[in-house]
Amino acid sequence: MSQCQEILQSQSEDSPPRLSIEDALVLYQEANLTELMHVASIHRRLRVPGNHVTYLVDRNVNYTNVCTINCQFCSFYRPPGHPETYLQTVDQISERITQLEEIGGSRILMQGGVHPDLVLEWYTDLIRELRIRHPSIDLDCFSPIEIEGISDICGLSTNQVLEELRAAGMHGLPGGGAEMLVDEVRLDISPKKGSAENWLQVMREAQELGLTTSATNVIGFGETNLHRLEHMGKVRELQDEALSRGSVGFTSFISWPVMLENNSLGRRESGTNKYTLGAGSNEYLRHVAISRLFFDNIKHIQASWPTMGTKIAQMALFAGADDIGSTMMEENVVSSSGTTKTSASERELQLIVSRAGFVPVKRDSDYNLLDTETIDEENFSPPPIQPN
Ligand code: SF4
pLDDT at 334: 67
Residue 375 confidence (pLDDT) above 90:
no
Instruction: Spell out the domain ranges in the chain.
Output: 52-363
Rounded Cα distance between 291 and 312, Å, is 16
CA of 146 to the centre of ligand 1 (A): 9
Residue whose Cα lies nearest atom 4 of ligand 1: it is 71
CA of 113 to the centre of ligand 1 (A): 5
Pocket test for ligand 1, best of 63, 64, 71, 256 (most atoms within 8 A of CB): 71
CA of 177 to the centre of ligand 1 (A): 8
pTM (whole model) above 0.85: yes
Residues with CB under 6 A from ligand 1: 67, 69-71, 74, 76-77, 113-114, 145
CA of 341 to the centre of ligand 1 (A): 20
Q: Percentage of residues in the chain with pLDDT exceeding 90? A: 83
Question: Counting atoms of ligand 1 from 1, which one is nearest the CA of 70?
Answer: 5
CA of 176 to the centre of ligand 1 (A): 10
Lowest mean pLDDT among 38-42, 77-81, 93-97, 263-267: 263-267
Residue 387 confidence (pLDDT) above 50:
no
pLDDT band for position 260 (cuts 50, 70, 90): confident
CA of 141 to the centre of ligand 1 (A): 15
Question: Counting atoms of ligand 1 from 1, which one is nearest the CA of 112?
Answer: 7
Among 240, 237, 241, 259, smallest CA distance to 304 is for 259
**Can you tell me the mean pLDDT for 352-366?**
97
Residue 383 confidence (pLDDT) above 60:
no
Rounded Cα distance between 239 and 248, Å, is 8
91 or 382, which is more confident: 91
Residue whose Cα lies nearest atom 7 of ligand 1: it is 113
pLDDT at 332: 74
**Can you tell me the mean pLDDT for 233-245?**
98
Pocket test for ligand 1, best of 63, 74, 147 (most atoms within 8 A of CB): 74
pLDDT tens column, 195-238: 999 999 999 999 999 999 999 999 999 999 999 999 999 999 99
Rounded Cα distance between 301 and 254, Å, is 6
Lowest mean pLDDT among 50-59, 91-100, 144-153, 259-268: 259-268
CA of 67 to the centre of ligand 1 (A): 6
CATH for 52-363? 3.20.20.70
